């Protein structure tokens, strides 16, 4: 058939991008036509997303895709859990909060008193993160916005609503809310009732691959496109789209989706809801085509990017990403390691001081320079990947033979090599835009491209993208390092 050309909107917490994706029978081509910075905005004591600004950038990007060639579809994915509320007129009620806002401090404990951790896990299968939508809604109880809300839309669904006027919740992202039953694949209405969440605001569910609807006439005009262009539901959770874009040809592969967050785990056919999985605090998120993303959220390169922001504010000019990574390659290995998932690293702030504080508390040598701090972060990430991949494999009864690293972090060759060393199996790094590729591929299938399943999509990525291979190097005592942080 003739090639399909779509706009893939991929919104990360630190940058948003709009890509033109072209899929032919044996070809897959991605062109980045628009990129813009993203981040929380502090106002009136809270941390919000500038969602109208994001909407404008989505329009700007899609317009650019349409200007440069045919446009057969539009798909949107973004980070998980955050949402906007609509009033009865269909208007947005206030600004969507960032999941890094502190309003959920102390809330999970209150909710768990009502439902019990075991019950909650048995239904949702989710890692107990303070920002899960269920906790954000519990924190919002009694607010004017929640009381007048008619609909809750997760962010990619909100942006799709502004393009099409259609309301819904795509399942991969719904699965991150803590209000979704991972076994029945429906909203967990009873759970919502028990927590006091107004369940009627949860919109009808839809699947990745469904057509959401054609763009509204007014939007088509703004975009300079024909009114019929469909918006297609993709794996609207960016991590779900990224896992579609993992170029695995092996059956037993592990993955790390490495961006602002690192999502570390396995693709499974069924959730693992065992007591051991609950105690290990592993998540069972919904993947495209009914798969399960059995994984751990690791604090990720957020920690490094907040360090870089802090150094830039302090006018430490020599501390650019390229410079600290170059220095970190030659820094001594595992000199200082910290628990990179310490909850104090979640909110924005002076990250270098927090890393030093964690080192001091753990009795580790305190890293003093940007290079030493960056090396601490990278070593600590590799150590966390090792621990969680081993646990995932054990809990799921798998023994992966390779780790695929995708996302922006796949360009961090030091981290990729250390991951191979730490985990003890080869790492295949790339593509860095796996989420956008997954978004393109799911749209292309809906629009008629012959991609029968995830295997076919992954084959196409593998055949069209160059990967970097890292073999594990012996000689570093990772066990001893792990013992230092769990002491
Ligand atoms: P998100 O989608 O969450 O916004 P990305 O997948 O774009 O994140 O990954 C962003 C991260 O990728 C950055 O924080 C940075 O650490 C890393 N990164 C991006 N480019 C490079 C590069 N050239 N070399 C090393 N690391 C990089
Ligand atoms: C990564 C991500 C991750 C979520 C977090 C909120 O961008 O979607 O999978 O847990 O953001």
Distance 477 CA to ligand 2 centre (A): 31
**Which of 11, 97, 176 should be mutated for ligand 2, with most atoms under 8 A from CB?**
176
Token reading at 426 = 């080869």
Supply the residue whose CA is at minimum distance from atom 8 of ligand 2: 79
Distance 290 CA to ligand 2 centre (A): 19
Q: Mean pLDDT by 10-residue block, N- to C-terminus, for the chain (487 residues)? A: 93 96 96 97 97 98 98 98 98 97 97 96 98 98 97 98 98 98 97 96 98 97 94 98 96 96 98 98 98 98 97 94 98 97 97 98 97 98 98 98 98 98 98 98 97 97 98 94 87
- Ligand 2 atom nearest residue 239's Cα: 9
Helices 321-330 and 413-423 pack at an angle, to 10 degrees, of 40
pLDDT at 317: 87
**Active-site entry in 238, 342, 379, 421:** 238
Q: Cα 31 vs. chain centroid, distance in angstroms?
A: 21
pLDDT at 251: 85
ipTM: 0.99
The ligand whose atoms approach the alpha carbon of 416 most closely is 1
The ligand whose atoms approach the alpha carbon of 15 most closely is 1
Distance 471 CA to ligand 2 centre (A): 28
- Ligand 2 atom nearest residue 82's Cα: 6
pLDDT at 250: 84
Report how far residue 345's alpha carbon sits from residue 361's, in angstroms, rounded to the nearest whole number.
14
Supply the residue whose CA is at minimum distance from atom 9 of ligand 2: 239
Residues 6 or more apart in contact with residue 257 via CB below 8 angstroms: 239, 242, 243, 263, 406, 407, 434, 435
- Ligand 1 atom nearest residue 238's Cα: 2
Contact assessment for residue 151 and residue 93, using Cβ atoms and an 8 Å cutoff: no
339 is catalytic: no
pLDDT at 227: 87
DSSP assignment letter at 452: -
Supply the residue whose CA is at minimum distance from atom 2 of ligand 2: 79
pLDDT at 379: 98
Distance 185 CA to ligand 2 centre (A): 20
pLDDT at 88: 98
Buried residues in 225-249 as b, exposed as e (16+ CB within 10 A): beeebbbbbbbbbbbbbbbbbbbbe
pTM of the model: 0.98
pLDDT at 485: 87
Q: pLDDT tens across 79-136, in order?
A: 999 999 999 999 999 999 999 999 999 999 999 999 999 999 999 999 999 999 999 9
pLDDT at 21: 98
- Ligand 1 atom nearest residue 10's Cα: 2
Report how far residue 448's alpha carbon sits from residue 211's, in angstroms, rounded to the nearest whole number.
12
Contact assessment for residue 195 and residue 134, using Cβ atoms and an 8 Å cutoff: yes
pLDDT at 270: 97
């Amino acid at each position: 058939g003739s090639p399909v050309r779509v706009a893939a909107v991929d919104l990360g917490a630190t940058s948003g991008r709009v890509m033109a994706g072209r899929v032919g029978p044996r070809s897959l081509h991605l062109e980045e036509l628009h990129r813009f910075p993203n981040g929380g905005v502090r106002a009136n004591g809270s941390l919000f997303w500038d969602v109208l600004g994001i909407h404008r950038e989505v329009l700007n990007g899609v317009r650019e895709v349409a200007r440069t060639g045919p446009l057969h579809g539009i798909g949107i994915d973004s980070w998980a859990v955050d949402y906007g509320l609509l009033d009865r007129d269909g208007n947005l009620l206030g600004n969507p909060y960032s999941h890094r806002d502190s309003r959920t401090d102390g809330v999970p404990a209150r909710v768990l008193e009502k439902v019990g951790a075991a019950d909650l896990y048995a239904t949702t299968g989710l890692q107990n993160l303070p920002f899960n939508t269920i906790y954000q809604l519990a924190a919002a109880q009694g607010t004017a916005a929640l009381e007048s809300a008619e609909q809750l839309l997760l962010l990619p669904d909100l942006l799709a609503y502004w393009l099409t006027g259609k309301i819904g919740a795509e399942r991969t992202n719904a699965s991150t809310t803590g209000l979704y039953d991972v076994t029945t694949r429906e909203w967990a209405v009873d759970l919502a009732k028990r927590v006091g969440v107004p369940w009627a605001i949860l919109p009808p569910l839809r699947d990745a691959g469904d057509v959401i609807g054609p763009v509204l006439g007014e939007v088509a005009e703004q975009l300079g496109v024909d009114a019929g262009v469909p918006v297609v539901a993709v794996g609207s959770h960016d991590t779900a789209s990224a896992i579609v874009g993992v170029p695995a040809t092996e059956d037993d592969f592990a993955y790390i989706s490495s961006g602002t967050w690192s999502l570390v785990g396995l693709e499974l056919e069924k959730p693992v809801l065992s007591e051991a999985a609950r105690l290990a605090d592993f998540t069972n998120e919904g993947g495209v085509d009914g798969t399960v993303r059995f994984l751990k959220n690791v604090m990720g390169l957020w920690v490094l990017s907040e360090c870089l922001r802090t150094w830039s504010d302090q006018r430490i000019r020599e501390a650019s990403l390229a410079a600290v990574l170059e220095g970190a390659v030659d820094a001594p290995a595992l000199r200082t390691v910290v628990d990179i998932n310490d909850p104090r690293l979640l909110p924005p702030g002076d990250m270098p001081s927090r890393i030093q504080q964690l080192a001091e508390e753990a009795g580790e040598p305190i890293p003093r320079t940007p290079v030493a701090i960056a090396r601490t972060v990278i070593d600590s990430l590799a150590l966390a990947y090792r621990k969680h991949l081993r646990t995932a494999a054990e809990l799921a009864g798998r023994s992966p033979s390779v780790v695929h690293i995708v996302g922006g972090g796949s360009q961090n060759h030091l981290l990729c090599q250390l991951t191979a060393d730490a985990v003890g199996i080869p790492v295949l790094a790339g593509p860095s835009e796996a989420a956008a590729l997954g978004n393109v591929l799911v749209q292309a299938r809906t629009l008629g491209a012959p991609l029968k399943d995830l295997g076919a999509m992954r084959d196409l990525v593998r055949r069209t993208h160059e990967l970097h291979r890292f073999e594990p190097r012996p000689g570093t005592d990772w066990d001893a390092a792990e013992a230092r942080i769990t002491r």
